[in-house]
Structure 1
Amino acid sequence: MNMEGAIIKEQGVTFAIVIVKPHIINNSNECSEARAAFQRYFPEMPIILMAQDQNGRPTYQGRKDIVAFLANVHPSRIPWKQYTFS
């Protein structure tokens, strides 16, 4: 499995951001399923889902305090990485 995301440690909290398709962010059931699926790859970390609209603007979904923090961070400042899991 390949995914693009980032692991960030900020203010003592380590969390994972995973890029998903916009339709996942717009469906609470799919958000829950995606978060559960990614949790095995990022154990014991809050999972934040991120999708971009057609203009490249990000939308984050997950823990409210982390989403509020990310709203003030330009996506280019996030250390994105391609993850490969077997």
Structure 2
Amino acid sequence: MTIHGAVIIEQGVTFAIVSVRPEVTRYTQRLVETRMALSSFFPNMPIILMSQDNTGQPHYYGRKDIVDFLKTVRLDQIPWKEYHIY
């Protein structure tokens, strides 16, 4: 499986952000399960899930302080890359 994400260090906090389909973030159980599944690939760091609505507006889910920070960052400023997960 390939995921689109980034590992970011900001103000001494290392966290992962992963782009997912809106269906993942629409339901709390799916959101929690996805973050738990990703935790083995991004160990010891908070995982933020990002989905976009039909206008392309990003919506972030995860630790509030990180989500608040990401709301101030443009999507093209995030160092996205593809991660191949097996």
Scaled by the length of structure 2, the TM-score of the pair is 0.96
Partner of 1:49: 49
Partner of 1:36: 36
Q: Residues 51-84 of structure 1, C-alpha deviation per residue, up to 9 Å, x if partnerless?
A: 0111111000000000000001010100000111
The Cα shift of 1:85 comes to: 2.1
Q: Spell out the pairing of 1:1-86 with structure 2 (5 A cutoff).
A: 1-86=1-86
> 2:83 and 2:44 mapped to 1: Cα distance?
17
After TM superposition, where is structure 1 displaced by more than 6 Å over at least 4 residues in a row? none
**What secondary structure is seen at the aligned counterpart in 1 of 2:55?**
coil
Identity of aligned residues (%): 52
The Cα shift of 1:5 comes to: 0.3
> 2:11 and 2:39 mapped to 1: Cα distance?
21
Letter in 1 for 2:12: G
- Count of residue pairs the alignment pairs up: 86
> 2:74 and 2:44 mapped to 1: Cα distance?
25
> 2:85 and 2:26 mapped to 1: Cα distance?
26
Scaled by the length of structure 1, the TM-score of the pair is 0.96
**What secondary structure is seen at the aligned counterpart in 1 of 2:59?**
strand
C-alpha RMSD of matched pairs (Å)? 0.7
Structure 1: runs of 5 or more not aligned: none
